[in-house]
Homo-oligomer: A and B are copies of this chain.
């Protein structure tokens, strides 16, 4: 950390006034790594040349090849001193992707609060103390929505989370808004839909099947679908998610109005529609590898999730959903199947 910190400072000195220095907190996760690769490929952000990229995560993230300096560091965001040291690099743009995920925050309340609430506060306070008001892109989740609210969920619908994860993310949204209003950061919160097709292996998230029923059959493996074919949910591809994160960083602050929170657009699809899309892209064989086996425990969790959204603000600001789920399937084949990420 200390070495990296000094490197970051040196880099800052070389950057001059026109360059942009970027930090990804949560840079080791699958979105963090994809974002790093995309930034390396673009070479610029907010119409400025990228002069440095730092990837931080609880364990030191894999680096990426780029024309600019890339540093990796481990940082536990629950440790304020470590976060202060990290942000002493005075970044122009910070992506705050790090989080304890839904099931983990539900199982271990204290861990979720420490990372998802106090960790976010640590980053905001460290940014505030640097007094350079960085652009901060914070990822929230549609898990902030739930309970007795009418469909469709609009930009002015109350976050009414029914999980501790959703609660902590909703709190993060409020903090990013207030720290931005006060000029401590130039924040933007993006609420992510469920990402599909997610690369990698199945995990213990209740939503895991929403990628694995496509991913595993495309790889010639069997997959189990625990809900009915007419189960509907709201999806976005990793590729569009990354584009939207970058767009989120590039929006002019004045265009964000009086609320920095944006529901990232997705598409509402049934399981049947997703499978049909896979078949139209990859032929009839993969679908035969899906076995429907009811799992009441998973069904009870996911049927509480919302799928009817009207992300008007995001669309007006130039964020995009996938055109159709055939694209999601194609993006998986193009971006992820040949080179599955290490995560």
Residues of A within 8 A of B (CB): 109, 146-150, 155-162, 164, 167, 170-171, 174-175, 177-178, 181-182, 257-259
Contact = CB atoms under 8 A, between A and B. Distances in A.
6 smallest beta-carbon distances between A and B, as pairs: A147-B258, A167-B178, A149-B156, A156-B158, A158-B158, A171-B171
A182 B148 CA distance: 18
Contacts of A182: 109, 164
Candidate in A162, A171, A182 with the most chain B CB atoms within 10 angstroms: A171
21 contacts: A109-B182, A147-B257, A147-B258, A148-B156, A149-B156, A150-B156, A156-B158, A156-B160, A157-B157, A159-B174, A160-B177, A160-B258, A161-B174, A162-B181, A162-B258, A164-B178, A167-B174, A167-B177, A171-B171, A171-B174, A174-B174
Candidate in A150, A155, A156, A257 with the most chain B CB atoms within 10 angstroms: A156
B160 A157 contact: no
A68 to B, nearest CB: 35
Given A148-B156, A156-B157, A257-B148, A167 B175 contact: yes
Nearest to A144: B174
Contacts of A171: 171, 174-175
Candidate in A170, A174, A175, A182 with the most chain B CB atoms within 10 angstroms: A174
Contacts of A146: 258
A182 B146 CA distance: 16
A157 B162 CA distance: 17
B147 A259 contact: yes
Contacts of A178: 161, 164, 167
